[in-house]
Amino acid sequence: MFVRWKKRTSHAKKSWLREDHGATLSAYLVESIRIEGKPRQKVIAFIHSIREPELTSLTSRYYFWHKVMTEVMRHYPFNSFTDEQKAKIITGLAKVVPLLTDEEFQGEQARTRSVIGEWSMPVYQK
C-alpha cells in the first residue's frame, strides 16, 4: 500500500473557471496487485486534495492536515489499519504537503481562533 498523487488541471469551458489557479493535487491510497501476471494499481480510497499554489500557504496546509487527521483517518478503510500503516500513509502525504512544525501549528491554530472565533474548530493537541 502506498500514496499516489494525481495532478489535475481544470478543463472548464468557461474561461473564468479556468483561470490560473494551478493544478489540483489529489492523494489516493493504492495497492499493487497483479492481474493476468501484469502489475496494476488498485485504488483503495481517495484521501484528500490541495491546489498546487496552496502548498506554500501555512493556512492551507493546516486545514489539509486537520482534515486528514480528524476526519479521513477515522473512517473505513483507514480506521482498520495498524499504526505502522497509518504512519506510512502520513509519510507519503508529507512528501508533497509538508507537516507543520509545532510552532507553525500553535501559531496557525491561535490565528484561526482569533479571526474566526471559538467555534472555528476544536483545539486539539498535535
Mean pLDDT by 10 residues, the chain (126 residues): 90 66 90 92 93 91 90 85 92 95 89 77 54
Q: Which pLDDT score, from 0 to 100, does residue 117 have?
A: 75
Q: Which pLDDT score, from 0 to 100, does residue 125 have?
A: 52
Q: Which pLDDT score, from 0 to 100, does residue 119 have?
A: 64
Three-state secondary-structure class, residue 85: helix
Q: Which pLDDT score, from 0 to 100, does residue 113 have?
A: 83
If phi > 0 it is left, if psi is from -120 to 50 it is alpha, else beta; for residue 17 that is: alpha
Q: Which pLDDT score, from 0 to 100, does residue 76 have?
A: 82
**Residue 88: which residues within 8 A CB-CB, separation 6 or more?**
1, 2
φ, ψ of residue 7 to 5 degrees: the values are -110, 120
Strands (E), 21-116: 24-35, 38-51
